[in-house]
Amino acid sequence: MKSFSLTLSAIALLTTGLAAKPIQFDLADKKGVNSITFEMESLLEPIYGNAAGITGSVSFDPDAPEKTTGKVVLDTSSLHVANKLMKEHIHGDGWMNVKVFPNITFELAKLTDVKKQGDNYVGNAVGTMKILKISKRISVPVTLTFLKGRLEERNRVEGDLLVVRSKFVVKRDDYGINPGQKLLKVANAIEIRVGIAGAAPY
């Protein structure tokens, strides 16, 4: 009986050791390719820009994708548009006030309605977006592409790769971004497109 108990304990320890653990993916991209683009389709002056100052991490388990968590941090000083004066206005205290609010953050709590499609996990990312002083709970569509052992093809380092893609709309009056002002030139609806890769070196 004692031998049987010892065998069960050994099996339990082995099973625990073999249990899959979430993989931690670093979103800081040494290649400088990761970016978030934004579009504001105003009547008089449509604005298109991007931001590349992205850091953060994602904890992802391919066997339990709904438990995915993480945090994406965007450096607001990296917000860029082609027109120099317009860029100064966006960075200024009337708009994004980057000196006082250096980051936009999205804290991912979970994924819902997840469906696996080949290497892709398609669902909704539920979490909290913070812009300026305001934090809002949001749910946005997301596709995670999990590429086991393929980090080397991108970064020349062995490991796993996770590519995060999303497209959604935020409204600037929801976050107190000069609400109700300059609507002919700066649309209230901001279309966001996310395309970022996370690295988990071995």
Quick one: CA torsion of 198, 96, 86, 51, rounded to 10 degrees? 0
Specify the pLDDT at position 17.
46
131-184 pLDDT, tens digit each: 999 999 999 999 999 999 999 999 999 999 999 999 999 999 999 999 999 999
Q: How far apart, in whole angstroms, are the C-alpha atoms of residue 31 and residue 135?
A: 30
pLDDT band at 30 (very low <50, low <70, confident <90, very high): confident
Q: How far apart, in whole angstroms, are the C-alpha atoms of residue 92 and residue 71?
A: 25
Specify the pLDDT at position 2.
54
What is the percent of the chain where pLDDT is above 70?
Answer: 90
Confidence check: pLDDT of 16 > 60:
no
Is this structure's pTM higher than 0.85?
A: yes
172 Cβ contact partners less than 8 Å away, ≥ 6 residues apart: 178, 179, 186, 188, 190
Specify the pLDDT at position 1.
55
Q: How far apart, in whole angstroms, are the C-alpha atoms of residue 93 and residue 104?
A: 15
Q: What three-state secondary structure class fits 66?
A: helix
CA distances from 155 to 22, 26, 159, 177, 193 (A): 21, 13, 9, 37, 23
Q: How far apart, in whole angstroms, are the C-alpha atoms of residue 111 and residue 63?
A: 13
Average pLDDT, the chain: 92
| 54, 36 Cβ separation under 8 angstroms | yes
Element (H, E) at 63: none
Q: Which residue has the higher pLDDT, 1 or 53?
A: 53
Confidence check: pLDDT of 33 > 50:
yes
Q: Of 21, 11, 37, 18, which is closest to residue 196 (Cα–Cα)?
A: 37
